Amino acid sequence: MFVYLREGIKAVFQRDPAARSLWEVILCYPGFHALLAYRIAHWFYRHKLYLIARIISQITRFFTGIEIHPGAKIGKGFFIDHGMGVVIGETTEIGDNVTIYQGVTLGGTGKEKGKRHPTIGDNVIIAAGAKVLGSITVGENAKIGAGAVVIRPVPPNSTVVGVPGRVVVQDGVRVRTPDLEHGQLPDPILTYCEQLQKRLEVLENRLAGLEEDRT
């Protein structure tokens, strides 16, 4: 557990320029508090002490605004920035060096038993307000844009934006370190509108030419 917590503190310093000292992270970061409580609750959960695990989870939710089910599986270097409104479901699996922001939901889509929450690969960035729902896989190095609703599997090294989430094709270059510039994600709707505008201008020019020929 201490290895995971050390990696969690390291992740804060790597990904949050506002972090100034170790004590600031320990005392003032709700994401770190929630992760610490989750590690304890997860230990109880694995030893089938489910009630104690859920009580710890609910107390943590009250104080941090972050709800992590003790049954979830979370790797090293996990970082929750701000964190208010984050919900992580029971059968969620999260890889190493994953970053999520406030309002993110890793949830289910129904009342089915078994694996019903997403699997998140290594080095994934999930921006504020995004929802990843169902037993789907988000491939490593993927980025989920703010407010996206993802209900289909996401290939590795890709970017998803919109409602419902759509994969935006990139150049295929693998991201080897967490890229936090999620404010610069492409907008496929805007791109499509720009293409329509260009086609409309071409058609208007052709129509104007035809009208001149008639006169």
Q: What is the pLDDT along the chain (215 residues), one digit of tens a residue?
A: 677 778 888 888 888 888 888 888 889 889 999 999 999 999 999 999 999 999 999 999 999 999 999 999 999 889 998 889 999 999 999 999 999 999 999 998 877 778 899 999 999 999 999 999 999 999 999 999 888 899 889 999 888 888 887 887 565 554 444 555 555 566 666 677 878 888 888 888 888 777 777 76
Q: Specify the pLDDT at position 171.
A: 54
Nearest to 98 by CA among 118, 119, 125: 125
Tell me the C-alpha distance between 57 and 60, whole Å. 5
CA dist 70 → 7, 37, 44, 47, 101 (Å): 19, 9, 8, 11, 19
Q: Specify the pLDDT at position 16.
A: 83
Nearest to 131 by CA among 116, 148, 114, 153: 148
Structure pTM? 0.75
Nearest to 25 by CA among 39, 6, 38: 6
Q: Specify the pLDDT at position 187.
A: 64
Q: Which residues pair with 126 in a beta bridge?
A: 100, 144
Nearest to 131 by CA among 149, 118, 117: 149
Q: Specify the pLDDT at position 19.
A: 84
Helix (H) or strand (E) holding 39: helix 30-46
Q: Specify the pLDDT at position 172.
A: 56
